[in-house]
Amino acid sequence: MIAKIGRGTNLFGALSYNNIKVEQQNGKILFTNKMIETIDGKYTVSQLAKSFDLYLAANKNTEKTTLHISLNPDPKDKVSDKKYIKMAQDYMNEMGYGKQPYVVFKHTDIDRPHIHIVTVSVDEQGNKISDKFEKRKSMKVCRSLEQKYHLINATDKDISNVFLELQPVDYQKGHVKNQMTAVINKLLEDYKFQTIGEYNALLSLYNITTEKVQKNEKVTENAFLYFASNNKGEKSTVPFKSSLFGDKAGVKNLTVHFAKSKEWLKLNPAKNTLKTAISSIMKIAVNEGDFKSRLEGMNIQTVIRKNDSGRIYGVTFIDHNSKAVYNGSNLCKEFSANVFNDWWNNRTKPDLPINFDDSSISMYSSENPESFSENSHELFNFFENVLNFTVDGFSILPENQGEDYEELQFEKITKRKRAKKR
């Protein structure tokens, strides 16, 4: 079993992410500890959050008060709900959080069921609960729980891979090829995406971009060139041939990857959860920054592509929870680039006449309509990217990807820029 621990500044984002799973019937609340109970056992996010109010109000000087933990047994392990509850209780007790209020969620929307635990890292007096040697301690507890509950032991290789945290490429540090190789290989291994635009959106998070070069007099075959970029997305290095990063990064294998991803993304059980999360945030966000920040609290990043005049021509959502990348228009027309351009550039916010289940809107506080005002309590600002110091444990060709307005627009702009340079 492997534990993943995330820390953030806001509780609401962690609770929202998990409660959407419950609303979409892709998860359930297994257990609550020292939480205010409801009559029917059902909770909105606001109801869950109330149990932590006193702890957050007493907080003295701890910045990242939200603790979001996932416990991930081997996929071959058969773990009952009762055993999950006992495992969660044992883990929290051993880690020093047994007397804290916390809620245990079970996720069932992927082939590997697992549990999430949400709590706060300050006690009733507002003092931070020690996290000294937490990584080492967590690993020790996991080994103990494996023995106690007869779980498959996580191998040393599994654990070492878990602690490999991808970092954006920094061309100024040197060894650029090695930095890029680590990122590209890991993204191709873990994430699903079906177009070059989606691939580039994902790469951009790590200061990498790629371009497809068509076969011509100087190039013997279609190929991809990769570049390291700076924080503004500008190319900062000479091009690197895809062959330098292995077969996976080349045209042939990416074409296969895109085609397989296209089918997987259609059937992705977390797709509706993602759509509901985006829809929910669109209803309450006040601007682009607010929208992106709130989604980041759910571990979903948004990549916006704009032309020189500021017009939005592409929107891509990267769901780090299900390792899925979607152009907005591939999710539904209400998430297309034109919709967001009208909203953020023309101040025309969409009405969202969306047909899919939007029941999880109830998770936002109907009891307190001021919950999302810009001056609301820190609790209701979605927390920034979760820092995981322990973690668990992508068609280029037209016939494989279909017509995509955003992709075509992107290619046209790229061609214009090349023409200007000539």
Query: How far is 162 from 395, CA to CA, in rounded Å?
Result: 30
Evaluate whether 228 touches 210 at the Cβ level (below 8 Å): no
pLDDT confidence of residue 247:
86
Query: How far is 275 from 295, CA to CA, in rounded Å?
Result: 11
How do the domains of the chain map onto residue ranges?
A: 2-162, 171-267+394-421, 271-357
Range with lowest mean pLDDT among 77-91, 215-229, 240-254, 323-337: 215-229
Stretch 117-142: mean pLDDT:
94
pLDDT band at 218 (very low <50, low <70, confident <90, very high): low
Stretch 191-205: mean pLDDT:
95
For residues 369-386, one letter each, b for 16 or more C-beta atoms within 10 angstroms of the residue's C-beta and e for the rest, the string is eebbeeeeeebbbbbeeb
pLDDT confidence of residue 350:
85
Query: How far is 129 from 64, CA to CA, in rounded Å?
Result: 12
pLDDT confidence of residue 217:
61
pLDDT confidence of residue 24:
83
For residue 124, give the amino acid letter: E
Across the beta sheet with 27-33, the strand order is 27-33, 102-107, 114-120, 66-72, 2-8, 387-390
Evaluate whether 192 touches 324 at the Cβ level (below 8 Å): yes
Which two tokens mark 12?
Answer: 């609401």
Q: Which of 357, 366, 307, 365 is nearest to 332 (CA)?
A: 357
How confident is the model over 156-197, as pLDDT tens digits?
545 544 444 678 899 888 888 888 998 999 999 999 999 999
pLDDT band at 335 (very low <50, low <70, confident <90, very high): very high
Report the number of secondary-structure helices (H) and strands (E) in the chain: 15, 12
Query: How far is 126 from 58, CA to CA, in rounded Å?
Result: 4
Query: How far is 422 from 276, CA to CA, in rounded Å?
Result: 45
Q: Which of 337, 331, 366 is nearest to 350 (CA)?
A: 337
How confident is the model over 273-288, as pLDDT tens digits?
899 899 989 988 999 9
Q: Which of 41, 20, 37, 6 is nearest to 295 (CA)?
A: 20
Mean pLDDT for the chain?
Answer: 81
Evaluate whether 63 touches 121 at the Cβ level (below 8 Å): no
Which two tokens mark 250?
Answer: 């080349």
Class of domain 2-162: alpha beta
Which two tokens mark 389?
Answer: 């110091």
Q: Which of 91, 135, 103 is nearest to 14 (CA)?
A: 103
How confident is the model over 64-109, as pLDDT tens digits?
999 999 999 988 899 999 999 999 999 999 999 999 999 999 998 7
Q: Which of 321, 362, 378 is nearest to 68 (CA)?
A: 321
pLDDT band at 8 (very low <50, low <70, confident <90, very high): confident
